[in-house]
Amino acid sequence: MIIASNFKTNHNRVSTKEFVDFINSQHFFSEVRIYPPFTAFDDFDLTPNIRVGAQNFYPVEKGSFTGEIGFEQLQEFDIDTLLIGHSERRHILGESQESICEKYNFAKSKECEIVYCVGEPKEIREQGIESVMSYIWSQFDGIDIDYDDLVVAYEPVWAIGTGLSASLEDIQEVLDALRLKIKAPLLYGGSVKVETTKDILCIENCDGVLVGTASWDKNSFSKMIEIADNFKEQV
């Protein structure tokens, strides 16, 4: 199971260190990922199943790209897991499929783990599963789905940060369809809470969760990881 926390634009350097140290002291079996803001990167002393990654980056080693963060800057903090295609970057920050592909190919060339996010907006969901899947497959245009270090996160746009999670049936339907072509671990994201984690992890083809809001509290995030650990022992 993979349990990932996306801090988005939350936490500072001190609170991130506290959070990471707390999670790191818990001894979990699950694979844990934490994506803090760039300014909170630090020299973390992590156990191997816990990794800190970047929410974004500019696909260059280094160069003249004012305001951006290149790979050389990430390497300074041993960052080797990256979020790509998050809906807030696609829909709020206007990232095109073309620039997402550039990032994907760059991350792949650096052999980083890629957590690749896909998901439909509300108006597409309202048209039914066929439209949902054709929208989601279009988000794989130019993406090598056979990349070894890929994790796919299904995150419906209307469920992110809204408190409205997709139903278990909706999640299962999409994950089942993705599983027909994709071997990589499949996560669900979209208003996951401590109370909903177990049911979501019980979905066949669900290999974990990517969590925003409910993960920003270290105790809640640690409970989610504990649920994943217990779940693993039961199956």
- Least separation, in Å, of the C-beta of 15 and ligand PEP? 17
In contact, 75 and 111? CB cutoff 8 Å: no
Find tokens 């156990």 and name the residue: 47
- Least separation, in Å, of the C-beta of 67 and ligand PEP? 22
**Which residue number, 2 or 214, has a Cβ lying nearer to ligand PEP?**
214
Within its chain, how far is the Cα of 78 from the centroid? 18
Q: Which of 86, 88, 95, 120 is catalytic?
A: 86
**Catalytic (active site) residue 86:** yes
Beta bridge partners of 152: 116, 186
Of 28, 71, 24, the closest CA to residue 52 belongs to 24
- Least separation, in Å, of the C-beta of 167 and ligand PEP? 15
- Least separation, in Å, of the C-beta of 14 and ligand PEP? 22
Residues that bind ligand PEP (CB under 6 A): 6, 8, 155, 160-161, 189-192, 210-214
**Which residue number, 70 or 223, has a Cβ lying nearer to ligand PEP?**
223
Find tokens 């050389």 and name the residue: 72
Length of the chain: 235
**Which residue number, 70 or 79, has a Cβ lying nearer to ligand PEP?**
79
Distance CA 149, CA 72 (A): 20
Q: Which of 31, 95, 120, 155 is catalytic?
A: 155
**Which residue number, 101 or 192, has a Cβ lying nearer to ligand PEP?**
192
- Least separation, in Å, of the C-beta of 63 and ligand PEP? 28
In angstroms, the first-to-last Cα distance of the chain is: 12
**Which residue number, 71 or 155, has a Cβ lying nearer to ligand PEP?**
155
Of 156, 162, 164, the closest CA to residue 131 belongs to 156
| Residue with nearest beta carbon to ligand PEP | 212
**Catalytic (active site) residue 233:** no
Secondary structure of residue 125 in the 3-state scheme: helix
Distance CA 232, CA 202 (A): 10
- Residues that are catalytic: 86, 155
